[in-house]
Structure 1
Amino acid sequence: MDRYGRERSPHRERRRERSPYRERRRERSPHRESRRNSSNVLTYKKLKKMPLNLRKKALREARNRHETIQGKRLKRKRNPQEVPTARRIRNDFDRSEHIAMLASTSQELRRILQDFETLSDIPHDITPTELQGEIAIAEGQATTIHVQRDGLSTLTVVLHQREPTIAQLKRAIALISRAQHKRRQRERYEERLRRRGIADDSDDRRQRQPVVVASSTGELVHSAQRNGHDHRAFVSWRFLWRCFGLLNVDTNQPIDDRRSGGRATLKELGIENAATLKFVHRVKYFGRQRQS
């Protein structure tokens, strides 16, 4: 039967078998072979139509067979940000001058702090929160809180407010933990340079090769060490406070940090001076809550 559902005549089939045109079609044409060979050649036009995974696979196979890609390769469009204009050159110069000024200021500040015996324990990259805490300690108006972290060192948070709130405590924990984490990474970097025998006494070198630190990481709350090195997840403190809460170790009671919208003072929550807190999973002590 043909494609229209009709029965084919036997005479018609016999005539088609005796046709010389059918015999010629059965013979292999050299043009067909050339077309088949040309269809197997890899060209830039074919690569452009392929998806990314098949394109990489075809390039890898052609490189292993030492084959050249036929056709004309399209030129990549030049990124306008790479074009050196007068404004970009001036901005690069200003940026280099700013980096040099920061390096000289850091070196001078480090020398000044080392000369004074009373200020030798203060790091040269101290944050405003830590500096205000040191001033409050000298004036006798500071509130010191110790925060324990699983697998990490205990975090000492000094609050300079007269009646600090739970929101101010959480903000200070985030700032101080990130500052200490960045300081620890810088110390590891300098120790690695000293171990390799590279002179690292130049602050300009440290400023040109800054230590990249995430805005907030899971390691700031609990130990994230796996397989001998740290796996730092780029998460926000908003996410961390949604997963973790604080537990008063002295009274063994979880702290309701959402009371009065975070405006509740530490005294109202039963947190005294020199109290010890601990990070705990919020689901364990507060139950699973609906995320707004």
Structure 2
Amino acid sequence: EESEKLKIYDLLTSKEKKMFLNTSFENLIMVNPNMMNIEDESIIEVSPFRIPTEDGLMKRIIDIAVALIGIVITSPIMAVTAILVKKSSEGPVFYKQIRITKDGREFEILKFRSMGVTAEKDSGPVLATSNDMRVTKVGKYLRSLRIDELPQLFNVLLGDMSLVGPRPERPFFVDQFKELNPHYYLRHNVRAGITGYAQVYGKYASDFNSKLNFDLIYIKKYSLILDLKIMLQTVKILFDKVSSRGVDESERAILSEQEIEARGIKVIY
């Protein structure tokens, strides 16, 4: 209850204790408020889940400049990768897939193909997992080093993506996530990114609600400095195998009934 919250806040404030709140939508919406004065009253204006226009323009200019430089620098790597992909398995060098970006617009994301051409022929759309049997031998290295993501620099040039932003999802999963969380659409107020706040500061294998919270925090806290920090952190974790995982099935431990009860958990049938 609101009255109980106020009592707790008062107590912690009087004892000079730190307060930690969870990332519920109620709390997220209060991040980065604008302070206003109306006559003699101080008012808190809630900031929107959008990047200011002037910051968005500067972000776009930086995206274009860095993408052009990145394509020139990594062109030898992309050329070698294209040859390896072509020789390692049948099918095209590049993999195109429909994803969702700003304002819910669909676009074709470009990657080096790391799976067999019939990876989802029978299963339909599924999320990638650790030790995914659909991934080719060359694909495992491409994914672990994030080399398969390099062609997305062309998506940045085209304006479909940004260097930093929420990772783009497929329409099939977006429709499901929207049904599960009514605030999911807010992440589409900005361009999708090659890397993002959720990939750097949250574990890549976390559930979609956790990643959504990180994405909304990014939009609320946005600054060019934050983008720079995320890009530098991305370089730092490039060789961290955990960062390149999908839904990690290896971490879903299977315990016996005895082991569960030994942990003090009562099993009810």
Of structures 1 and 2, the one scoring higher in RCO (CA 8 A, sep 6+) is: 2
Q: Does the alignment reach a TM-score above 0.5?
A: no
TM normalised by structure 1 equals: 0.23
TM-score, structure 2 normalization: 0.25
